[in-house]
C-alpha cells in the first residue's frame, strides 16, 4: 500500500489548504469518529479528518443525522484528537446546536473547541445561519461551510436526491457560497449537486471547495469512512467508490472465530499460558 506523505509531515492548517488550492493539489478528506480508525487514517496521510455528524448514522444507528447531540459529538471529537498528529481536524456542530440563536451557536462551537481541541467546526447552510457563522468566526474559530444536500435539513427536502438541479436553487447556492467566503469561512463542502455547478463554484471561490457527489471539478473530495471502506453495505449511491470490502471481511473473520471456538480449535496449545 502506498502511503501519501505530505512534503514535510507538518500539521495541516487552514492556510495550507488554501496553498494546496492555489497550486492545484487536490485535498483528501475522510470522516473518522474513534481513536483506532483515526490513527490509521492520519498515518495514511489524510489531509482533513471530519468528525461528521454522520456518526449519528454509522456509529449510533440512527436513520438521520438529527438525533446526535453536542455531548456525543464531543465524545467522538476527543477520541479522534487523541490519535491525530498531522491532519486538520474538523468537527460538525450537530442539528439544533447553532441554528436560530447565534449566542447558542457560539457556546456550542466554544464547547467543541475547548473540550476536543479540534482545529475547526463545520455547519450546514447559507444566508439563514449567517449570524451564527459571523459570531463563531468573531471568536477566532475557523468555520467550514456545507451547502447542497445538507442532511440536517432532510425533513425539509423530503429526499436524499441531487440538489440544485433547477436554476433557482442553483443561484441560491452560488450566492450562499460567495456569502460564506465573504464572511470568512476557510473552506466549503458541496454535497450531491451537479458536477458543472460544483466546478463553477470551485473556480469562482478562492477558498477550497470539497465535494461529495459533486464531481471532479472541486478542490478536494470527502467520503464517509464506513462507506469508502465497505463497512456499510446497503448504501450504494452513484458517487461512492468503495476501496475495500471490510464488511465482508469482518463477517467472514467473525464466522471463522465462532467456528474455532465452537470446535475447540481456539485456543490451541501455543495460545495459552
Ligand atoms: O457528516 C458527514 O459525514 C458529512 C460529510 C458527508 C461531508 O457532513
Q: What single string gives the DSSP state of each residue in 101-137?
A: -HHHHHHHHHHHHHHH--SEEE---SGGGHHHHHHHH
What pLDDT is stored for residue 50 in this prediction? 99
User: Where exactly are the structural domains of the chain?
Assistant: 14-242, 245-272
Rounded mean pLDDT, 44-48: 98
What's the Cα-to-Cα distance from 237 to each of 50, 103, 190, 220, rounded to whole Å?
Answer: 20, 37, 16, 19
d(CA 17, CA 6): 12
pLDDT tens for each residue of 63-87? 999 999 999 999 999 999 999 999 9
Distance 265 CA to ligand 1 centre (A): 43
Name the residue with cell 476527543: 78
- Percent of the chain scoring above 90 in pLDDT: 96
Strands 88-92 and 120-122: parallel
Gyration radius of the chain over CA positions? 20
**The architecture CATH gives domain 14-242:** Alpha-Beta Barrel (3.20)
Query: 135 CA to middle of ligand 1, Å?
Result: 23
Confirm or reject: Cβ of 145 under 6 Å from ligand 1: no
- Mean pLDDT, all residues of the chain: 96
The average pLDDT across 91-104 equals 97
Question: Among all residues, which ones are annotated catalytic?
Answer: 191
pLDDT of residue 9: 83
**pLDDT confidence of residue 1:** 43
Return the residue whose CA atom lies nearest to atom 1 of ligand 1: 52
Is residue 26 over pLDDT 80?
yes
State the Cα torsion 184-186-190-194 to the nearest 10°: 80
Does residue 264 surpass a pLDDT of 50? yes
pLDDT digits (tens, 9 = 90+) for 184-235: 999 999 999 999 999 999 999 999 999 999 999 999 999 999 999 999 999 9
Amino acid at each position: 500500500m502506498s502511503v501519501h506523505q505530505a512534503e514535510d509531515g507538518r500539521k495541516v492548517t487552514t492556510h495550507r489548504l488554501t496553498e494546496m488550492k492555489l497550486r492545484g493539489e487536490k485535498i483528501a478528506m475522510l470522516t473518522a469518529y474513534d481513536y483506532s480508525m483515526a490513527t490509521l487514517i492520519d498515518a495514511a496521510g489524510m489531509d482533513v479528518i471530519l468528525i461528521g455528524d454522520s456518526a449519528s448514522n454509522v456509529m449510533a444507528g440512527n436513520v438521520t443525522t438529527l438525533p446526535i447531540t453536542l455531548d456525543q459529538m464531543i465524545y467522538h471529537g476527543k477520541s479522534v484528537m487523541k490519535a491525530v498528529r498531522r491532519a486538520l481536524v474538523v468537527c460538525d456542530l450537530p442539528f439544533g446546536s447553532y441554528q436560530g440563536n447565534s449566542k447558542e451557536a457560539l457556546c456550542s462551537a466554544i464547547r467543541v473547541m475547548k473540550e476536543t481541541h479540534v482545529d475547526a467546526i463545520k455547519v450546514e447552510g447559507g444566508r439563514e445561519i449567517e449570524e451564527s457563522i459571523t459570531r463563531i468566526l468573531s471568536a477566532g474559530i475557523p468555520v467550514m461551510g456545507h451547502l447542497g444536500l445538507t442532511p440536517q435539513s432532510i425533513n425539509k427536502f423530503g429526499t436524499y436526491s441531487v440538489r440544485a438541479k433547477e436554476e433557482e436553487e442553483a443561484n441560491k447556492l452560488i450566492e450562499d457560497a460567495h456569502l460564506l467566503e465573504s464572511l470568512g469561512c476557510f473552506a466549503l463542502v458541496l454535497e450531491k449537486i451537479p458536477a458543472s455547478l460544483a466546478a463553477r463554484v470551485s473556480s469562482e471561490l478562492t477558498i477550497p471547495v470539497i465535494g461529495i457527489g459533486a464531481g471532479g471539478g472541486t478542490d478536494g473530495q470527502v467520503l464517509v469512512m464506513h462507506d469508502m471502506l465497505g463497512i456499510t453495505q446497503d448504501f450504494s449511491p452513484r458517487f461512492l467508490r468503495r476501496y475495500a470490502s471490510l464488511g465482508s471481511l469482518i463477517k467472514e473473520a467473525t464466522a471463522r472465530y465462532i467456528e474455532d471456538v465452537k470446535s475447540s480449535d481456539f485456543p490451541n496449545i501455543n495460545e495459552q499460558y
